[in-house]
Amino acid sequence: MTPAVMPTYDTWQRRAKELAPNGTHLVDGADEAGGGATFEALSPRDGQRLAVVADGGEAEVNAAVAAARRAFDQGPWPRLAPAERGRILARVADLLEGHRAELALTVSLEMGKTISDAHDIELRAVINTFRWYGQLADKLTDESPHTAPDALALVTREPAGVVGAVVPWNFPLTLAGWKLAPALAAGCTVVLKPSENSPLSALLLGRLALEAGLPPGVLNVVNGDGPVAGKALGLHPDVDVLAFTGSTAVGRHFLHYAADSNLKRVWLELGGKSPNIVLPDAPDLDRAAATAAWGIFFNQGEMCTAPSRLLVHTSVAERVTEAVVERARALRVGDPLDPVTEMGALVSERHLDRVLDHVHDGVEDGARLRTGGARTRTETGGIHMEPTVLDRVAPDSRLAREEIFGPVLSVLTFDDLDEAITLANATEYGLAAGLWTSDLTTAHQVSRALKAGTVWVNCYEEGDLTVPFGGMKQSGNGRDKSAHALEKYMELKTTWIQL
């Protein structure tokens, strides 16, 4: 992929003024206003209104599921040759590339991500995702196990049916792509419910998918909040699979919805409280500190895999912590549309209040505030917070145990490797972890001992689409990314033929 040129700050500001997002639902290949209920999409950048968005409820979800059911039961999509489905997904990737600036601007404006991250990271990820699964679509094989000579056994993979995909606002296109691309490659049809904080980029993605050749009803996008539209999708008897990324609390609701309806399969990618362990023999302590700072402040800390617990050996704790603090103080918090901004706006006032409450309670519990801890840039109308670091954090405190989902780092210390592993696993979550060591045996042994779906050694947030992503414990089940993601959207059928 040819690197895209980053427009200037003035250009982004001008384009923001010209942007006119379409906030209507997308159902059965057409814009749909629904029953007339609406809500305002406000930008955390400055509080300005971006669009009036159609607010969906049970009726809109029913219409979208009915369209997806017709498209699956009667339409061409599940019956296309996999190679043809792959070619259409590749065209989706091409159109996303062609509209990269518009999509990045929409993401940045609706959820506060820096334009540099939206343009260079978020869009790169979703484009690569559709292209990768497009290339994989015709590479799957069925099985014919060896049986007795008088029989023939076939194990075939068939699309599971109608998929409900519910995705959050922190990576609105990347996480949608992780659900949509494998589900579509498998031959399923989809109803996507984006977060009410980030509906506009998902709607634009859906319209580009139609333009790429996706038949009507194969991908439907319904706006609305979780307790209404999300619940209706979770309870719907014609939804065969529900794929959700979001909080652990909401994930529990979807399991209940499945039990109360048709026992649909529910795949959950949930919260995290990821430990980042720094041992004294780390190959480069300065790089470990720099990576720790980048990891927790990237995307304003609004990331399920954020290394929010820095576990440092006592012998190097002050050196590493001070290096992180220095980087936090130097971080450029600013207008998300300025390409030099390193940390943008938090998604909403409500979310900012929640993050600040965690910091306040942590200090009350005895943690030491090393830097940050307050709102900033209040004169802009934006929702900004200082990069925040606290040490002397008690292992049983809220700071150490609860997901904050903001730019807040909790530093804990340990004296030996066993204590580090105990601290790392002392959480209900099991999404990701980091480890810094020069010892190969330690790297293998600790990685095996950590209860996490992904362990990064001497790095953080690295990887590509060839490896699966997902959690253990209350961080969820199933996997996004890689060929394994297709397993969520396919059924295995055995055909036994007596010869």
The DSSP-derived string for 50-86 is: EEEEE---HHHHHHHHHHHHHHHHTSSGGGS-HHHHH
Distance between CA atoms of residues 105 and 94, nearest Å? 18
Distance CA 7, CA 227 (A): 39
Q: Give the integer Cα–Cα distance in Å for 351 and 82.
A: 42
Per annotation, catalytic residue among 304, 342, 386, 403: 304
Task: Give the DSSP H/E element, type plus range, for residue 289.
Answer: helix 285-297
Instruction: Quote the radius of gyration of the chain (alpha carbons, Å).
Output: 23
Which residues lie below 8 Å from residue 5, measured CB to CB, with a gap of 6+?
none
The answer to whether residue 459 is catalytic is: no
Is 269 assigned a catalytic role? yes
What is the DSSP secondary structure assignment for residue 339, as one 8-state letter? Answer: T
| Rounded CA separation 138/159 (Å) | 13
Q: Which of 397, 458, 403, 395 is nearest to 425 (CA)?
A: 395
Catalytic annotation, pick one of 269, 302, 386, 403: 269
**Token reading at 63:** 């219409």
The CA distances from residue 397 to 45, 245, 358, 407, 446, in Å, are 32, 26, 10, 18, 24
- In angstroms, the CA 427 to CA 12 distance is 42
DSSP 150-162: TEEEEEEEEE--E
**Do 310 and 276 form a contact (C-beta atoms < 8 A)?**
yes
| Closest to 278 measured CA to CA, from 460, 448, 461 | 460
- Give the integer Cα–Cα distance in Å for 251 and 257: 10
Quote the tokens at residue 230. Answer: 């999300």
- CA neighbor of 310 nearest in space, from 353, 471, 322: 322
Task: Report the 10 Å Cβ neighbour count for 259.
Answer: 11
Rounded Cα distance between 234 and 250, Å, is 11
Q: Which residues are catalytic?
A: 269, 304
